[in-house]
């Protein structure tokens, strides 16, 4: 561990796998070089040559994005970078999930032909688009696939594939988000053009650090593991945004979310910006989210951010109804609630919201959950979320292998996946999925466990500690924010906005403390006991110019 690291931080870092000082370096110079001859991204040189030559010769590049936040930031990043490098009118399309579904399909290729592209580039999708890539090639397009999802047994016959998870790729950082892969490709295109004298006084070489805000948002929102490399990207993006250098679209989204640059952290990107961008892809068309990110005019961006905020409010209302219906189904069907792998379906459910529903139920039930929505006369789409110990894509692959023809298509990650099957096959799939989960997991895996960093000494429950923790991130998936536990006396409580719990507490120190449990009332209620055990993190509470420590509570139980 580095000299000068406070003991508390040293303990926290060690618990998160930090073994040496180099892992704490968050400058861009510490990034893994994507073009390294032995440990670089496979296919990067080919992709850079194809895209670089298209830029040099004025050939048209079309970007095919995805309808989530990672896909939106990836698309905006490549549009900005290609324009800055002198590409001739690059353009983009995003599949509407309700008409075309996910990825580069033959139907999307047919739509793409209207743009007359010479080169088609996918971002955050394409690794499983066998027929889509074939259709694009048949139409005379060169195809560059950039993705980060796990590939199937067959790879598409693209002209270049850049994906750290493709077979034979030595790049060590397999947790890169789609936007991270897109960024690496753009740096390689710039290097290709630089070597050929493309830049000069009339066309200065662009600074790709201008894209770091997009990198941070997409990486956090896609909930990829914040390994050493991803932490650098997120830290640098946050540093840029907190310095007032966020692009107008992100500034506008932060405004409608009530977040102010200067003290932004990774959670602000994940819980404020990400959901508002995702709402466009869930309920409408992600194009508005991408246009918001690409806008150079703050007032124009604000108008689009307000639309995105309204879509997010609508999404929340739909989610509330769906959660209530799911809870009713679990109450009515005790056998359903006892499954190890839970599959839920309602013909009225919104396919754009089933992923959020599956995540909420997974957290509640402590077991893998798949929520399904109807997408056709005899077709349903499922969105799956998993718990530690079950790799979802491997589980779906096992089901598909044991029951040929049961799944129409599937793909995803360890913790999240999507799938499509016939409605009439849903009961058989639910049985097969439950059997596979039971084969892999143990009963103790289904027990909800809240891991903490132990107790703080009385003197450590302080504004100084809160300030230290706020500056020690970025925290996130795989590098969790510190969480402490302790017993406190409850002096008083108050319910705010019918869902937040305000607490006045006395801890091990002499001074009384305040705590807040956001959204905790509907789940845990209000303490009716004198002493509680809390899971919490000290945070800075600023009110009327005064800064003091406040405990942000994530769980309480009677002590």
> Could you please report the per-residue DSSP string of 433-473?
HHHHHHHH--GGGGS-------PPPGGGSSHHHHHHHHTS-
* Banded model confidence at residue 412, pLDDT cuts 50, 70, 90: confident
Mean pLDDT value of segment 58-73: 96
CA distance 298 to 256: 13
In this predicted structure, what is the pLDDT of residue 340? Answer: 97
Question: Which residue, 265, 389, 257, 369, is CA-closest to 322?
Answer: 369
CA distance 471 to 75: 30
Mean pLDDT value of segment 539-551: 89
CA distance 276 to 137: 35
* Banded model confidence at residue 127, pLDDT cuts 50, 70, 90: very high
* Banded model confidence at residue 511, pLDDT cuts 50, 70, 90: confident
Where on the phi/psi map is residue 440: left (φ > 0), alpha (ψ -120 to 50), or beta?
A: alpha
* Spatial contact of 482 and 475, defined as CB atoms under 8 Å apart: yes
pLDDT, tens digit (0-9, with 9 covering 90-100), for 163-189: 999 999 999 999 999 999 999 999 999
Question: Which residue, 316, 349, 465, 420, is CA-closest to 105?
Answer: 420
State yes or no: pLDDT of 498 exceeds 80: yes
pLDDT, tens digit (0-9, with 9 covering 90-100), for 332-357: 998 898 899 999 999 999 999 999 99
In this predicted structure, what is the pLDDT of residue 6? Answer: 93
Question: Which residue, 42, 24, 41, 19, is CA-closest to 32?
Answer: 41
Cβ neighbours for 284, distance < 8 A, ≥ 6 positions apart: 311
In this predicted structure, what is the pLDDT of residue 96? Answer: 82
In this predicted structure, what is the pLDDT of residue 334? Answer: 87
Residues in the chain: 559
* Banded model confidence at residue 142, pLDDT cuts 50, 70, 90: very high
Does the domain at residues 39-305 carry the CATH identifier 3.90.1640.30? yes
In this predicted structure, what is the pLDDT of residue 522? Answer: 84
Q: Which two tokens stand for residue 106?
A: 């033959």
Mean pLDDT value of segment 199-214: 96
* Banded model confidence at residue 143, pLDDT cuts 50, 70, 90: very high
CA distance 426 to 77: 39
Of all residues in the chain, the percent with pLDDT exceeding 70 is 99
* Banded model confidence at residue 3, pLDDT cuts 50, 70, 90: low
CA distance 140 to 109: 11
Q: Which two tokens stand for residue 259?
A: 């977040």
For the chain, what is the mean pLDDT?
Answer: 95
State yes or no: pLDDT of 1 exceeds 70: no
* Banded model confidence at residue 98, pLDDT cuts 50, 70, 90: confident
Of all residues in the chain, the percent with pLDDT exceeding 90 is 87
Q: How remote is the C-alpha of 51 from its chain's centroid?
A: 27
Which residues sit opposite 370 in a β-bridge?
343, 384
In this predicted structure, what is the pLDDT of residue 544? Answer: 79
* Banded model confidence at residue 486, pLDDT cuts 50, 70, 90: very high
State yes or no: pLDDT of 2 exceeds 70: no
Kindly report which listed range (99-103, 391-395, 437-441, 538-542) carries the lowest average pLDDT score.
99-103
pLDDT, tens digit (0-9, with 9 covering 90-100), for 268-309: 999 999 999 999 999 988 999 999 999 999 999 999 999 999
* Spatial contact of 467 and 540, defined as CB atoms under 8 Å apart: yes
How is the chain split into domains, by residue range? 39-305, 333-446, 458-558
Which numeric CATH code is attached to 333-446?
A: 3.10.310.30
Q: If you search the block for the tokens 């999802």, which residue do you land on?
A: 149
* Spatial contact of 550 and 462, defined as CB atoms under 8 Å apart: no
pLDDT, tens digit (0-9, with 9 covering 90-100), for 144-159: 999 999 898 899 999 9
Q: Which two tokens stand for residue 493?
A: 């409580």
State yes or no: pLDDT of 108 exceeds 90: yes
* Banded model confidence at residue 523, pLDDT cuts 50, 70, 90: confident
In this predicted structure, what is the pLDDT of residue 95? Answer: 86
CATH class of 458-558: mainly beta
* Spatial contact of 305 and 253, defined as CB atoms under 8 Å apart: yes
pLDDT, tens digit (0-9, with 9 covering 90-100), for 319-328: 999 999 999 9
In this predicted structure, what is the pLDDT of residue 190? Answer: 98
pLDDT, tens digit (0-9, with 9 covering 90-100), for 414-471: 888 999 999 999 999 999 999 999 999 999 999 988 899 999 999 999 999 999 999 9
In this predicted structure, what is the pLDDT of residue 546? Answer: 87
Mean pLDDT value of segment 24-43: 95
In this predicted structure, what is the pLDDT of residue 411? Answer: 85
In this predicted structure, what is the pLDDT of residue 490? Answer: 96
391-396 contacts at long range (C-beta below 8 A, 24 or more positions apart): 392/368, 392/416, 392/417, 393/150, 393/417, 395/341, 395/368, 395/433, 395/436, 395/437, 395/440, 396/433
């Amino acid at each position: 561990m580095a000299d000068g690291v406070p003991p508390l931080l040293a303990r926290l870092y060690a618990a998160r796998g930090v073994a040496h000082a180099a892992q704490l370096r968050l400058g861009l110079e510490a990034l893994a070089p994507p073009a390294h001859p032995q440990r670089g991204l496979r296919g990067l040189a080919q992709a850079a040559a194809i895209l670089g030559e298209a830029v040099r010769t004025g050939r048209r590049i079309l970007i095919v994005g995805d309808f989530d936040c990672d896909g939106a930031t990836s698309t905006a990043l490549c549009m900005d970078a290609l324009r800055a490098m002198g590409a001739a009118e690059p353009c983009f399309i995003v599949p509407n999930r309700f008409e075309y579904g996910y990825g580069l399909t033959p139907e999307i290729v047919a739509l793409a032909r209207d743009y007359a592209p010479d080169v088609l580039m996918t971002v955050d999708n394409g690794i499983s688009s066998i027929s889509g890539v074939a259709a694009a090639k048949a139409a005379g397009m060169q195809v560059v696939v950039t993705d980060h999802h796990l590939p199937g047994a067959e790879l598409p016959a693209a002209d270049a594939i850049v994906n750290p998870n493709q077979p034979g790729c030595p790049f060590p950082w397999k947790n890169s988000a789609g936007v991270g892969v897109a960024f690496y490709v753009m740096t390689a295109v710039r290097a290709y053009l630089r070597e050929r004298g493309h830049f000069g006084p009339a066309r200065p070489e662009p600074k790709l650090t201008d894209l770091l805000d997009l990198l941070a948002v997409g990486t956090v929102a896609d909930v990829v593991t914040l390994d050493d490399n991803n932490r650098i990207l997120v830290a640098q993006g946050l540093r840029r945004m907190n310095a007032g250098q966020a692009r107008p679209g992100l500034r506008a989204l932060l405004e409608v979310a009530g977040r102010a640059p200067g003290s932004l952290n990774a959670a602000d990107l994940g819980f404020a910006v990400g959901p508002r961008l995702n709402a466009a892809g869930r309920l409408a068309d992600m194009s508005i989210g991408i246009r918001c990110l690409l806008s150079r005019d703050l007032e124009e961006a604000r108008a689009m951010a307000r639309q995105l905020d309204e879509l997010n409010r609508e999404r929340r209302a739909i989610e509330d109804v769906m959660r209530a219906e799911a809870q009713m189904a679990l109450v009515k069907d005790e056998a359903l609630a006892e499954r190890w792998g839970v599959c839920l379906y309602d013909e009225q459910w919104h396919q754009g919201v089933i992923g959020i529903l599956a995540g909420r139920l997974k957290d509640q039930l402590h077991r893998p959950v798949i929520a399904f929505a109807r997408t056709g006369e005899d077709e349903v789409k499922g969105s799956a979320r998993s718990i530690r110990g079950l790799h979802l894509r491997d589980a779906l692959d096992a089901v598909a292998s044991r029951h040929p023809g049961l799944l129409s298509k599937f793909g995803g990650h360890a913790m999240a996946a999507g799938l499509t099957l016939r409605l009439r096959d849903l009961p058989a799939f639910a049985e097969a999925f439950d059997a596979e989960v039971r084969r892999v997991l143990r009963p103790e895996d289904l027990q909800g466990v809240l891991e903490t960093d132990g107790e703080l000494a009385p003197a450590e429950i302080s504004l100084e500690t809160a300030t230290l923790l706020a500056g020690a991130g970025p925290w996130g998936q795989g590098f969790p924010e510190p969480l402490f536990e302790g017993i406190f006396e409850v002096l008083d409580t108050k319910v705010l906005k019918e869902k937040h719990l305000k607490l006045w507490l006395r801890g091990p120190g002499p001074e009384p403390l305040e705590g807040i449990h956001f959204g905790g009332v509907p789940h845990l209620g209000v303490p009716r006991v004198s002493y509680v055990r809390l899971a919490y993190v000290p945070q800075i509470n600023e009110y009327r110019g005064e800064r003091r420590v406040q405990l942000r509570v994530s769980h309480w139980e009677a002590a």
